A and B are shown apart, each in its own frame.
Chain A
């Protein structure tokens, strides 16, 4: 079992690498699809801004290969958002692996923007493999100003004035809006759960 960790060059991937190390999960950092040939699953980590990140994914061939891939894939934070059809952040098209659009988080009364901090995971979909062993109400660490409104691919959500997709999935394509690598024991379990999904 080896996880390919996509390095777009505009992201800090150190924390994800260290989290995989702590969880004892074998991984390699890859820049192009060829580098992931021997891996059985892929993580697309959180990256700076949607526009530049999509440019890199296109330039390095990922935009072409990921839609045909079929291996378990997990996007983290912006990496999750890029799985969708479109992002309002910079008005760019995403990879289109999941139906839906990324919108700017509204700033509800009394709440600040961006959404930053520990929020409770709720509304668990039955059978979501990333949530094995996790209790509803567990907290995860979020940092984002754009979001995917809770919808039909949402497997868990959190409340930030609006229902925010926290975990999404369709088939082997999944994502976390929060940072599992910075979400304590809950996050470590989610990374291990991803590593256990049948390829």
Chain B
């Protein structure tokens, strides 16, 4: 099965999960689907057993790690983790419900395989990813650490503390992504609080900056390979990743309206009609 087909199922899961509990964040989840599918199903080196089944260890020694800093797009992470084999896809039906391991925002308290830190209060994931990258170096582990942040999240001050720290300490086993969809809760990012020249800012802080179309599999493959090739050269890497919020569901695109809104029954049917079922609905 190719990555696009997996992504189609993940997008079905996202809109169904959010519809099922009448809450959650479909827009950013749909936008980042292709990036997460590319990472987990192609580019990340994950620990597996002799049968190829992924194995989850909290310390992540001997494998690549991924952190979701903008935790509100948990639906895409949960669906990708489930289809990658970290837990049964049937569990996606419990999203945001009482006694579920699939909390509204990712958490470790319920011991969901694949999650190593709680995220949701924004601005913290980059620091955590840097810490694990330093830990990998101390442990003699040459694997990489990936972290995804939102573009609105770049307004948090802690991001820039971390952005200063990583080049200073030559954290060059780290690839950060900024989901540049230009939208946040109160409207277009450039109107709410303009993050102008984000790439230039990271460059000035001492990062290697790449740009990528996060909804184009050619761009994803080329730039992710390039980013991996640039690790180990004394500088952290950030990939400004242009995505379309709501990608794959026409009426959810080109607006911030679907940042944190669930579709009704009619809208769900309309969305699912655009997304072929490829791996079987949960």
* B and A form one assembly: no
